[in-house]
A and B are shown apart, each in its own frame.
Chain A
């Protein structure tokens, strides 16, 4: 299922380049049972895909990184991660990455309908895939910050 891992990585690189003019670099890659299930601290944007490809992408940011991206995108720093503009930007980034993945997996015959994004904020958010046969992890460095973006995708393919 290398094409799924590739589609995630390419979609993240494309969206951050297009929307934020950021050249993100892959730091860590894990797949299958090696995907770390560490708790996320901060903000998680997620979008589900239902169809021949069936699963959910989770994009995790620290509070600081989420606020920086919002400021970069709309030109004004949010008052905190509980502000609506954080939901808008983090949700939209997840939506665009899922859309980019969907476009790429559709070309391989695996289409899916997207679920509206949800954004979770909290300490110690942990997502368990419950034996999803496909698990992909990518972490990315971003320019001008020490903060990292982590992306997890848990899914199965419908035959």
Chain B
């Protein structure tokens, strides 16, 4: 059932944490990752993403893009956990896993947005790779960047959402 909720970046922040912890621990059978840092910007500047990035766009009351941003090592480790055997960083299986995890995280955020009264639809996922990519959003109002660390895995990963709210 939809309820009228006032939009805030805290709302999105909570959705990102809740969904990411659930997806990573459930799908990869990892211990629940810890949220180790958060950045919120209401005057979004450009930002860098890691080497392997799942990306999904949102259209509707909340429009924008969600990134699951991973080092090559993290992406391989996630694929290995899901598939059950070592996987090279540039293997198609890694792209499939990153794509699917991004889809589940974005899907969870979308469901919660819809439940809060912000109807949205999602694009299909893409995986963007590169050694040092700087991203800038045009016509966006907010950026949230939540960094997580999972026990037993090397390094951290980030879920980033940039976007804006429409009054339509």
Report which A residues bind B (CB closer than 8 A).
Answer: 39, 48-51, 54-56, 82, 84, 87-88, 91-92, 95, 112-130, 132, 154-156
Contacts and interface: CB of A to CB of B under 8 A. Distances in A.
Q: Top 10 nearest A-B pairs by Cβ distance?
A: A48-B57, A113-B59, A91-B138, A115-B57, A122-B133, A50-B59, A48-B123, A87-B136, A50-B121, A125-B130
B126 interface: yes
Main secondary structure, interface of B, reads strand
A49 B135 CA distance: 19
A127 B128 CA distance: 5
A155 B122 CA distance: 12
Nearest to B60: A113
A154 B140 contact: no
A128 B59 contact: no
A49 B123 contact: yes
A78 to B, nearest CB: 13
Interface string B2-32: 0000000000000000000000000000000
Interface of B: 46, 55-60, 63-65, 95-96, 99, 120-140, 162-164
B39 to A, nearest CB: 17
Contact of A130 (B99, B122, B134): B99
Contact of A55 (B60, B123, B132, B138): B123
